[in-house]
Amino acid sequence: MPLNLLADGFERGLYNSPYVWTAAKAAAIIGLVVLLKVYFEGAKCRSERVMHGKVVMVTGGTSGIGAAVVQELASRGAQIILLTHHAPSDPFLVDYIEDVRTLTNNELIYAEQVDLSSLHSIRLFATRWVDNAPPRRLDMIILCANVMTPYFGSGQITVDGLEAEWAINYLSTFHLLSILSPAIRAQPPDRDIRILFSTCSSYIGGQLDLKNTDVATKSGSTSFARSKLAVMTFAHAFQKHLDAYQRPDKQPNNARAFIIDPGYCRTPGTRRWLSGGLIWGLFFYLFTWPVWWLILKSPVQGAQSFLFAAMDAEYGRGSGGKMIKECREYKPLRPEVQNEDVAKQLWQFSEKQIEQLEKQGAVKRALAKKEAEQVNKKKGSDTTANANGQTSGGEKKATPGSRKSRKAK
């Protein structure tokens, strides 16, 4: 067929061929789609840094952008520690780790069970990490864990009584880094420590309202934007916290915090939000998938800014607190992000909220433990009584053939 078209074009002339304009239109459409796809894919990380020996702690590393970051860093030799709410023996987690080890030819991939919706779970893990002597090596912390209520969904409340977006997207990050701060500052001065915070352009429309963090909102977009604005504000404050520390060896601070905006990506969270958490919404998403394929990045493409901040040699020196998007530095569009008064207010509020919630959680756990002990004690007494031939009411059981059994008959 192509040969016939070429022959027809030579005989009649190129412009007289009946297929030339059809081919030109098709080529123009395909070219436009290719150009749009290249544009929406964004920048690509060109760093070739070797990560052998680096210890990287990752939240949200089992799906979406976090999984893409984990696979790339593991393929470069990094030791990965996944913080996940799954138990280490969970079949999904076991299979996932084995798959990543096989794909990256790297056996140094482990998992720690940490429920980011529980302040107590975060404290248990972080305290164990900090209490290790000598301090465990830690080169990087990548915070990719996020949750967002679907458009038609209802907000969720965590075990601590907090809004899910506020607790998981922001407060878990604050709590984790606050406890791990001594372990970060105890690293040798020649070590390049980087902490990567995940954000989203929705922070531009967010309001840092601290009054309703324990109320499930109907709008997931509003609460998500607030949590991202809080994360960015805390990132700048945490960088100043690290810079203010006076090391015993008199060396300058070697830990740097960066805020990463990966752009809009086709992650499971985005798909859930676009579908509204509904079955018919999922069908709508599948029907319009070519549009999302064109304008949204894949998780691998969304991971490029994370990889750039993690591996580029430029960010191993100088100051931290920078925002990176499309593998370039950007200035935050909200002044609250770099406002010291706002950061101080947010820091104090977060510390007070965590302290109050942990006290309440400790009381609940103590009561639950006491109740469980009473139940076990009662079961034990019943078992002992039954073994001695007593009924639950304290009366002796009638043994077959005894005088009491004959009277009962």
* Residues with a known catalytic role: 228
Cα–Cα distances (Å) from 405 to 136, 391, 394, 402, in that order, read 70, 14, 17, 5
DSSP category for residue 170: I
Q: Under a CB-based contact definition with an 8 Å cutoff, are residues 159 and 167 in contact?
A: no
| Distances from the Cα of 112 to the Cα of 82, 133, 170, angstroms | 6, 19, 20
| Phi, psi angles (nearest 5°) of residue 196 | -110, 120
* Six token digits for residue 404: 């009491």
In order, the DSSP letters of 46-92 are ------TT-EEEEESTTSHHHHHHHHHHHHTT-EEEEEESS-TT-HH
Spatial neighbors of 162 by CB under 8 A, at least 6 apart, are 171, 213, 214, 357
Location of structure tokens 């078209």 = 5
Backbone angles phi, psi at 136, to 5 degrees: -70, 145
Q: Show the CA angle centred on residue 192, arms to residues 130 and 127, nearest 5°.
A: 10
The Cα–Cα gap between 163 and 227 comes to: 10
Neighbours of 220 (CB within 10 A): 25
Task: Find all residues with CB under 8 Å of 169, minimum gap 6, and list them.
Answer: 145, 146, 147, 224, 227, 228, 230, 231
363-395: b or e for each residue (b if 16 or more CB lie within 10 Å)?
eeeeeeeeeeeeeeeeeeeeeebeeeeeeeeee
Q: Which residues of 121-157 are buried (b: 16+ CB within 10 A; e: fewer)?
A: bbbebbeebbeeeebeebbbbbbbbbbbbbbeeebbe
**Does the N-terminal peptide bond of residue 134 adopt cis geometry, omega within 30 degrees of 0?**
yes
Q: What is the DSSP letter of 318?
A: S
What distance in Å separates the CA atoms of residue 361 and residue 123, rounded to the nearest whole number?
12
